[in-house]
Structures are given as structure tokens and as C-alpha cells.
Amino acid sequence: MAPMHAIHIVGRCLRLVSVYAAYHYVIARGVSLTFFCFVCLLGSAALFSALQRPWRGRPLPNSLLMPAVVNGFVMAFSLLLWANGLRNCGPVRTILGEYAGAVLGAISTLLFSRNGLVWRRIGGLLAMCAAYYFLSQGWAMSSYSPFSFGATTVKAETVEREEGLIKSSSMLLPAMSGILAAIRRIISRRVSTKNHAKKRLHAVTVAAATCFIFPFAMFKLAVGKQHPSSEPHGSAAWAYISTILFGVVLIFYVDTFVEDRLHIVVASPTHIVVTGVGIIIFEYIYGMDFSLLGFLVCATVLGLGIYEATATDPNNRDLDQGNSFLKEDRPPLNMSTLPS
């Protein structure tokens, strides 16, 4: 089990490397986010096509291809929202906003579940909303956090750039991106039952997302203007390569492996723990506007909220799974069969 957990940790850390590289590049160069997303999707689609070769083997039926194409539109829109959230809110709030999809699972479980955990799930849902409210108020940033323990010293221009983003609506873009990403995962999970088919369909999904975003990227490239800043960070080649390799391609295989082998879904407290530790390390490495205690409060409340909101009564587990369409279920543990 240790090597499997190591794969999970390394995969999440490499993904965080791509997030911070993309953030510094976008801030430093002032590039068009639409064009940036298009290039990343184009490179990812080429890699997925080379690895999975969806045109080979048994032809995929239309009943699988159509949802994959729809998923491509959802993926393109989600990535655009994510990139805008990254530029406006910074890495911490954008990454934690990816877990907003658990709110859908909590609401659907609350509406369709028939067991007696209603108040526990309501409390979990309220805790998640509270965590995102704290994040929107800047609790994870040393400039606005009510906690001073573990706070970093930041430059005046960094505080000035983030001023005005501390409001209740600041988490809207990352949260909407997380919700759309959760919908995409749910559609993919409902459509593809076999692991191989899931990977082939994901290659089609990324290719479809590239096609959807192509005309908008060309338009922004033709009429857009760059607004470079004085930030010292931001290598273009590293931002694109790391986002393609680590942020899109590798993380898909890592998350698929972790779900199948370790039974850890994206919207789970264990996943938040691994991601949270990586965030703390990278925030101090890059010298970001970061409050350790404020971040721990937000991440802990969010993790507890997800755990309580998605809690399942063992006696009614099967009934809950059948009635909760939007819930990202915790995969059941593998149990060895009895000898015949």
C-alpha cells in the first residue's frame, strides 16, 4: 500500500507544481487565458490520443461518444473558469474551490436519501459553505486573515493586486469550476464502466474540449493585448509543459489509479489532506500571501463538512447509492470472495 500512496502524493505534488507555474506565468505575462487553455488542451489531446489511440480496437458506440463530446464542452468551460479563478483568486482558493463539487453530492444525498442522517448531512453542507465563506474573506491570506500564526511576509504590490478580491463573490469562479468538474466526472463514471473504455473516452473528451475552445482562442489571439507586469516569475515553456504533463495528463491517470486501487475519490477528506500539505509547502517556497493557521481552519472545516455531508449509513448503503445521482460515492472496499 505504501508505494500506491506514494504515487498519489507524488502525483498531487506534481500537479501543484503545474498550478503555481501557470499562476506565475499568467500573472507575469498577462496572456490570454483562453489561448493558454487552448494550447494546454491541444497538447493534452495529442498526448492522450498517442497513449490511448481511441480509433483502434473495438469501435466506440454513439451511446458512449455523445456523452464524451458533451463532457468536452463541460471540460472546456470548466477549465476557462478555473484559469480565471487562478488569476483572480490565487492558487490556494482556486485549488480548494475544486472541491465545491462535493456540495452537489451533499445536496443530492440530502434530497434523495432515506436514512436517518439528515441533520448530520445538513451540518456538513453548512460547514462546507462556511469554509468557502472564510476563504472568500481571505482567511488563508496573511494580509486579511484574523490569525497571525504562520503568516508570511508579502510584497506591497502583491497585496495591492489582490485588494478588492476579498468579498463573498470571490469564490464564485473556482467553485463553479469545481462543480462543473464534478459533473464531468459523474457523467464519465456513469457512461464508462470499464477502465480501458474510460481512458479512451477521456481522450475523446479532451479532443472535443480542444475543438470547442479553438474559435474563441483564435479570436482572443487576433484581438487580445498582453499586459506584462514586473513579476520575476513566469517561464512560458515551463508553464505550458508542466500544465500539459502534470496538470492534465498525469493527474488523470493518478486520480484513476487512486480511485481504483486506494478507493480515494477526488471529493474526499483524505484527498484534501494530501493536497493541503502540498499547498503549505509550495506557499512557503514561492513566498505567497499565506496564513498557515487561517488555511488550516478553512481546510479542516471543508474536510469535516465533506465527511459529514457524504456520510453513509452502512445498513442503507445500497439504497443511498441508487437514489443519489449527483453524489461522488466513496468506492466500496474490495472483499475477497468465498472459496467455492
Give the pLDDT score at 192.
66
Looking at residue 166, what DSSP letter applies? -
- CB atoms inside a 10 Å sphere around CB 51: 13
pLDDT exceeds 80 at position 188? yes
What distance in Å separates the CA atoms of residue 170 and residue 131, rounded to the nearest whole number? 13
Confidence of residue 146 (pLDDT cuts 50, 70, 90): confident
pLDDT tens-digit map of 56-70: 878 878 888 898 999
Confidence at residue 323, expressed as pLDDT on a 0 to 100 scale: 38
Q: How far is CA 310 from CA 108, 182, 319, in A?
A: 10, 14, 14
**Is the pLDDT assigned to residue 320 strictly greater than 50?**
no
Check if the beta carbon of residue 93 is closer than 8 Å to that of residue 135.
yes
Distance, CA of 32 to CA of 138 (rounded, Å): 26
Looking at residue 194, the DSSP 8-state letter turns out to be S
* Cβ within 8 Å of residue 208, ≥6 positions away: 68, 69, 71, 72, 73, 75, 76
Domain boundaries, the chain: 33-52+59-223+236-323
- Residue 41 · residue 74 · CB < 8 Å: no
pLDDT for res 227: 53
Q: What residue has cell string 493527474?
A: 251
For cell 482572443, name the residue.
220
Percent helix, strand and coil across the chain, each to the nearest 5? 75, 0, 25
| pLDDT band at residue 195 under the 50/70/90 scheme | low
Q: Average pLDDT of the chain?
A: 82
Please tell me the least confidently modeled range out of 113-117, 159-163, 255-259, 318-322: 318-322
Residue 52 carries which side chain, given as an amino acid letter? Q
Question: Cα 98 from chain centroid?
Answer: 4
DSSP conformational letter for 291: B
Based on the number of CB atoms within 10 Å of its own CB, is 334 exposed (0-12), middle (13-18) or buried (19 or more)? exposed
Residue 137 has pLDDT above 80, yes or no: yes
Residues 280-308 as b or e (16 or more Cβ within 10 Å = b): bebbeeeebbbbbbbbbbbbbbbbbbbbb
